[in-house]
Structure 1
Amino acid sequence: MRRIMKQNILKAAILAAGFCCTVGCSDNDSDLTIYIPDAGTAVKANFYIEDEPYVQTFNVAVTPETYPQLTEYGLPNDAVVHLQADPGKVDEYNAKNGTEYELLPEAAYDLTEEVLVKAGTPKSEEAVITVHAKGNIEAFKEYLLPVSITSVEGAVADHCCQTIYFIFRGSMDASNMELLDRTGWEALSASSEEPKEGDWGHSGLKEACLDGDLNTFWGTDWSTQHPQPPHWIVIDLKKTTHIQGFACQAREEGYDGPKEVTVEVSDDNATWTVAAKFKDIPAQGEFRSFLPAAVDGRYLRVTITAVNGGPHVTVSELNLF
């Protein structure tokens, strides 16, 4: 009888050992560490800049100390992982990768500062980066945010894989962009004007494309010289202005608005830099588009190289954003 009991106890011990192997008891728990999957790489996040913030999530995970890979068993106990933005690593990243990213402004985001890794689970709950882009970042510009593990309670941080890099880029719909205030802007010169449009209350003078009245417009000469494209106008913005996009409004009646346009900027009204070229502009309504890249300048020159409907052109309003 005693012999049978000893055999049963031995069998139970063997079964228990096998069960431990199944659930992970055979892992050396002291060799398990905490790391960030995708650490060292760049995670790119593209989104629209809107009233609601953009949310980016990520996890920290459990790995055998010998190599960063996910273990299916997890830790024997809960662990708390502390996270923090790591601005000092921006210069390091740029130097290593030949980039020139700026740090995501502090006002533009909130970061989960600690996450829980529950016992027996291979990864943490989600860490959250909430990006408050509107009013805090420039559209179409990429910003870098390194996030690092600063400390771990209840476990050990891995010897590597402690920092992840996020590259955030917000874009916008041009139709939703707020136009720049044109107070003080001055139309300095134009290739030609048509004063006779004033007989019908349309002005025809270069200043009319800045007056905010859709019933008036700048028109090129049709009563005397009949110049062919290109037609151009120069506007003094009165101060160095940051420009992200261009807008023009065709007159409400007629089909002689710009079809192809070159936009240039200058600091001195002498040396010009091409900011954008636009083609296939609709004959009616408002046209808006972002520039390929934002520019700064005090003077604006708009050159119309092709016209919808004929050689003469009319422009009701010119705007920037």
Structure 2
Amino acid sequence: MKKNIFQLMMALVVTASFTGCSDDRIDYPLAAKADRSGWAITAVSSEQGDGSENTGLASAVLDGDVNTIWHTQYDPDHPGFPHWFVVDMKKPNKMISVDLTARQNNKNGFTKFKLEGSANGETWTNLGEFKFVPATITPQSFPVSSATGYQYLKFTALEGLSVHTFLAEMEVFVNE
């Protein structure tokens, strides 16, 4: 049931993104979770690895474990906003939405962020600015246009309830 509702919502997002197309024969695809195997973090503004498993490193957002997190630096420095990381998805993806899962044991995370896409990791296209609820521990979905395929995805936390930023997981849904 939950999957069917999600697919219906994503079909509406896709339909809205094609408004104005002259070709009325377009087959509107359904959303599918992108395969993250091989994906890598290629750049990060700040991270605080503690040496145990993946906690603190930006790569934690791609490991499938909500108990490991990306955490911006807190020792010895406390850099302020913005905080960001770049994901190399290894091939262009026509993204429909990006799901973010908050840290499970701290409600003081970021509250506003933006997403950007790039074909080459150098020139960026704004995919939108969004509000995030750090107290919500289930995935939060943010629709983006699927009109262009991007190989790189940049996440930038813009504001928050503390100087630090942390995030448990990032999933990307694509046209299939």
TM range (shorter): 0.7 to 0.9
Instruction: Provide Cα deviations, 1:184-231, integer angstroms capped at 9, x if missing partner.
Output: 1101111011013x45x5620111110001110110000111011100
Task: Select between 296-305 and 201-210 the one with higher mean Cα deviation.
Answer: 201-210
Q: Equivalent residue for 2:34?
A: 180
Contact 2:109–2:162 (CA<8 Å) still a contact in 1? no
**Is residue 225 of structure 1 aligned with residue 77 of structure 2?**
yes
Contact 2:64–2:169 (CA<8 Å) still a contact in 1? yes
Instruction: Provide Cα deviations, 1:97-140, integer angstroms capped at 9, x if missing partner.
Output: xx5421325xxxxxxxxxxxxxxxxxxxxxxxxxxxxxx4147x
Q: 1:214 aligns with which of 50, 55, 66?
A: 66
Secondary structure of the 2:33 match is: coil
Q: Equivalent residue for 2:24?
A: 103
Q: Compared with structure 1, are the counterparts of its residues 306 and 206 closer, same or farther at alpha carbon in structure 2 (3 Å cutoff)? A: same
Which structure has the bigger radius of gyration? Answer: 1
State the one-letter code of the partner of 1:181.
D
Unaligned runs of 5+ in 1: 1-47, 51-98, 106-135, 140-176
Q: Equivalent residue for 1:142?
A: none
Q: Equivalent residue for 1:314?
A: 166
Partner Cα separation in structure 1 for residue 77 and residue 115 of structure 2: 25
Partner Cα separation in structure 1 for residue 32 and residue 120 of structure 2: 26
Contact 1:202–1:215 (CA<8 Å) still a contact in 2? no
**Is residue 257 of structure 1 aligned with residue 109 of structure 2?**
yes
State the aligned residue count.
154
Q: Compared with structure 1, are the counterparts of its residues 243 and 226 closer, same or farther at alpha carbon in structure 2 (3 Å cutoff)? A: same
Tell me which stretches of 4 or more aligned residues in structure 1 moved more than 6 Å: none
State the one-letter code of the partner of 1:180.
A
Contact 2:39–2:90 (CA<8 Å) still a contact in 1? yes
State the one-letter code of the partner of 1:195.
G
Post-superposition shift, 1:277?
Answer: 0.9
Q: Equivalent residue for 2:133?
A: 282
Partner Cα separation in structure 2 for residue 181 and residue 100 of structure 1: 29
The TM-score, its normalising length taken from structure 2, stands at 0.80
Instruction: Provide Cα deviations, 1:259-307, integer angstroms capped at 9, x if missing partner.
Output: 111100111111101011102x11132211212x224211111100012
Secondary structure of the 2:46 match is: coil
Secondary structure of the 2:60 match is: helix
**Is residue 302 of structure 1 aligned with residue 155 of structure 2?**
yes
Of structures 1 and 2, the one with the larger relative CO (CA 8 A, separation 6+) is 2
Partner Cα separation in structure 2 for residue 212 and residue 257 of structure 1: 19
Partner Cα separation in structure 1 for residue 7 and residue 101 of structure 2: 25
Partner Cα separation in structure 2 for residue 49 and residue 235 of structure 1: 25
Q: Compared with structure 1, are the counterparts of its residues 224 and 181 closer, same or farther at alpha carbon in structure 2 (3 Å cutoff)? A: same
Unaligned runs of 5+ in 2: 1-5, 9-19
Contact 1:265–1:273 (CA<8 Å) still a contact in 2? yes
Partner Cα separation in structure 2 for residue 260 and residue 180 of structure 1: 24
State the one-letter code of the partner of 1:102.
D
- Aligned-pair Cα RMSD in Å: 2.0
The TM-score, its normalising length taken from structure 1, stands at 0.45
**Is residue 137 of structure 1 aligned with residue 15 of structure 2?**
no
